[in-house]
Chains A and B, each alone.
Chain A
């Protein structure tokens, strides 16, 4: 993620040695995993003795990895949809509402970030059993949405704050009703922010361990959990290969975020792009 942050910054300032060092340090574990995945024999070794893509095939063929990958993707997509349905209206209400209420509410939306994930998971677990909902899918989506909401809201609020409130009024003077003005003028302006929020929600769900650990039922485990369980009994490069696939998904999302400007919006530079 760090390389992407530096790359997303459009300015062409020379990168300091310190930045390079920190970046390298952060990337090193990922590199070790990726290289270990290339080792041809049935044990984890770094640096690898040879180069083989065998374990990538194994990882993708492995039935429980495969099931988990599909489940993880389903849950992540569901989290994005549910998350956006919650956060987009919330962000609009936040930016247009009373200023004092806004600060309090925006503070409140950050609480999932500072609450231990275990507590959130426990809470959801208790709630679900109260409602007699046994499906772990609902619980997982709920939990994942909760941890993704704070960042998604921040990104959307930053995006909306950059839209001139006169735009919608101009559209109204030109004959657009309030709803139409929002849909034709404001919405297209905040599409990048919505995209960023969607990527954040996706990644937070796809990578989540702590909530999933609590809420996944046997036989319905998400990919990170399956990998964790696999590692308890096996030490072959399959896990490394699967991890590499996850890293690639992560890097791709981060690149996408960089393009959409979501990282900049988090750093408070959202307005500078307009």
Chain B
């Protein structure tokens, strides 16, 4: 996946300075396979200091495996992990100076909140006074000072999550590793903690790798996103690039934010033809020489009118309607069997079964490669 890496290197996201920062974290050709299938293959990724990399993908795509390799909890079959110029590949977990937040949080049940947070400092043999000071600071930071004497099981899920976070940052780790830390929380608390986590990461300047299958989390937290599938990194980029200009068909399909419409290239030109006959000439340039296999078009880039109106449009029929915060989502079947999703911003929408005319605004189409 060298092309994905170069993509990241040559196109820094808007927030980062244009000067090429030396890569703080470098993952090179990391492979770790399981006899039962799964794992990661030849993953290359880089991350500058102070940024959050989100590994995004469905379960079983290898994102947790990669995170565990970074933590040293799994040894890679091949490849290396370099952090701040130091090759970590053969360094045991406890000498890596990482901070990890587990999906189950893994708080020590026999210890109080205070002792949980103090654990890492005790292992580092920090003098008692310094230790107490640090633990107090961090508990204040996550707003849990008054719960210091409690056992983890006496706290709510959100509070336990914050203890796990406090425990991971108290040691000032060289890198934070977060394994779906919010996935077992209620939606409301998840959104709240997500914001808190982002602010904390920014203000403390933490470098982190965050694993999730939830693309809204990826958007909210990532400075860059690596979309993974089947143990490989499909593409990487700043959130805005990955979401509004995906390069791979898989990315567009996994994010599910746009219609992915298959196309075949027309000979001798940049134009593409859809299965239902439209000719598309995307304004977004195609990078690389891989053939374009589909285009992504957002549901609000398609116009829907009741049948019988303007010409040049396709005749279809509404097969499903769903009310969403941003409008009414219609699923429309075209005669050739293609179904597209169309958002109508205002009005009550059209009932299921209505014959409709569909017009595509192809100028906004994003070309996708396999």
Task: Indicate if the CB atoms of A166 and B102 lie closer than 8 Å.
Answer: yes
Rounded to whole Å, the gap between the CB of A172 and the closest CB of chain B is 4
| Of A16-24, A31-39, A153-161, A173-181, the one touching chain B | A173-181
- Tell me the bound Cα distance from A19 to B106 in angstroms: 40
- Interface band, chain B: 20 to 34
Q: Interface code B79-107, partner A: CB below 8 Å = 1, 0 otherwise?
A: 00000000000001111111110101011
B104 interface neighbour in A166, A184, A274, Cβ under 8 Å: A166
| CB interface residues, B 251-310, toward A, < 8 Å | none
Task: Indicate if the CB atoms of B120 and A169 lie closer than 8 Å.
Answer: no
Return chain A residues, CB-CB under 8 Å to B109: 167, 189, 274
- Tell me the bound Cα distance from A50 to B187 in angstroms: 72
Return chain A residues, CB-CB under 8 Å to B93: 169, 172-173
A57 interface residue, CB < 8 Å from B? no
Rounded to whole Å, the gap between the CB of A188 and the closest CB of chain B is 4
Task: Indicate if the CB atoms of B123 and A176 lie closer than 8 Å.
Answer: yes
Return chain B residues, CB-CB under 8 Å to A188: 110
Question: How many pairs, one residue from A and one from B, have CB atoms within 8 Å of each other in the complex?
Answer: 69
Return chain B residues, CB-CB under 8 Å to A181: 94
Task: Indicate if the CB atoms of A174 and B120 lie closer than 8 Å.
Answer: yes
- Tell me the bound Cα distance from A250 to B92 in angstroms: 48
A171 interface residue, CB < 8 Å from B? yes
B236 interface residue, CB < 8 Å from A? no
- Tell me the bound Cα distance from A181 to B93 in angstroms: 11
Return chain A residues, CB-CB under 8 Å to B104: 164, 166
Task: Indicate if the CB atoms of A173 and B100 lie closer than 8 Å.
Answer: yes
* Interface residue total, chain A, C-beta cutoff 8 A: 20
Return chain B residues, CB-CB under 8 Å to A169: 71, 73, 93, 100, 102, 106
Task: Indicate if the CB atoms of A166 and B106 lie closer than 8 Å.
Answer: yes
Task: Indicate if the CB atoms of B106 and A175 lie closer than 8 Å.
Answer: no
Rounded to whole Å, the gap between the CB of B227 and the closest CB of chain A is 26
B108 interface neighbour in A180, A185, A274, Cβ under 8 Å: A185
- Tell me the bound Cα distance from A10 to B345 in angstroms: 58
Residue among B72, B93, B167 with max Cβ neighbours from chain A (10 Å): B93
Which chain B residue lies CB-closest to A163?
Answer: B109
A173 interface neighbour in B98, B107, B110, B124, Cβ under 8 Å: B98
- Tell me the bound Cα distance from A170 to B106 in angstroms: 7
Task: Indicate if the CB atoms of B71 and A171 lie closer than 8 Å.
Answer: no
- Tell me the bound Cα distance from A178 to B93 in angstroms: 9
B171 interface residue, CB < 8 Å from A? yes
B114 interface residue, CB < 8 Å from A? no
- Tell me the bound Cα distance from A172 to B73 in angstroms: 9
Contact A164-B106, Cβ < 8 Å, known A173-B100, A174-B171, A176-B94: yes
Return chain B residues, CB-CB under 8 Å to A171: 108, 119, 123
- Tell me the bound Cα distance from A188 to B72 in angstroms: 25
Rounded to whole Å, the gap between the CB of B123 and the closest CB of chain A is 4
Contact A170-B100, Cβ < 8 Å, known A164-B106, A274-B109: yes
- Tell me the bound Cα distance from A226 to B92 in angstroms: 58
- Tell me the bound Cα distance from A188 to B110 in angstroms: 7
Task: Indicate if the CB atoms of B108 and A173 lie closer than 8 Å.
Answer: no
Interface residues of B (CB under 8 A from A): 71-73, 92-100, 102, 104, 106-110, 119-120, 123-124, 167-168, 171, 177
For this complex, 10 residue pairs linking A to B, each with C-beta atoms less than 8 Å apart, are A164-B106, A173-B93, A173-B168, A175-B95, A175-B123, A176-B94, A176-B123, A177-B92, A185-B108, A274-B109
Closest A-B pairs by Cβ, 4 of them: A175-B123, A174-B120, A166-B106, A170-B106
Given contacts A167-B109, A185-B108, 14 further A-B contacts (CB under 8 A): A164-B104, A166-B102, A171-B119, A171-B123, A173-B73, A173-B177, A174-B99, A175-B95, A175-B97, A176-B94, A178-B94, A180-B94, A184-B119, A189-B109
